[in-house]
Amino acid sequence: MKSIYVWDLGVRLFHWSLVIAFFANDWFIDDDSDLHQYIGYFVIGLLTFRLLWGFIGSTYSRFSSFPISPQACLEQMQDIALQRDHIHVGHTPLGALMIYNLLLAISLIGLSGFMMTTDWLWGAEWIEEIHEAVVVWAEVSIVLHVLAVIFESKLTSVNLSRAMITGVKEIPEHKA
Tell me: the pLDDT tens digits for 124-160? 899 999 999 999 999 999 999 999 999 999 988 999 9
The β-bridge partners of 168 are: 5
Kindly indicate the confidence band of residue 84, based on its pLDDT and cuts at 50, 70 and 90: confident
Instruction: Report pTM.
Output: 0.92
Contact (CB, 8 A) for 92 and 151? no
Rounded CA separation 41/33 (Å): 13
Q: Look up the domain containing 131 and give its range.
A: 2-175
Convert 53-68 to b/e letters by CB count within 10 Å (16 or more is b). Answer: bbeebbebbebebbee
For residue 39, which of 110, 142, 119 has the smallest C-alpha distance? Answer: 110
At 112, is the secondary structure helix, strand, or coil?
A: helix
> If you count them, how many residues does the chain have?
176
The CATH number of whichever domain residue 52 belongs to comes to: 1.20.950.20
Question: What is the domain count for the chain?
Answer: 1
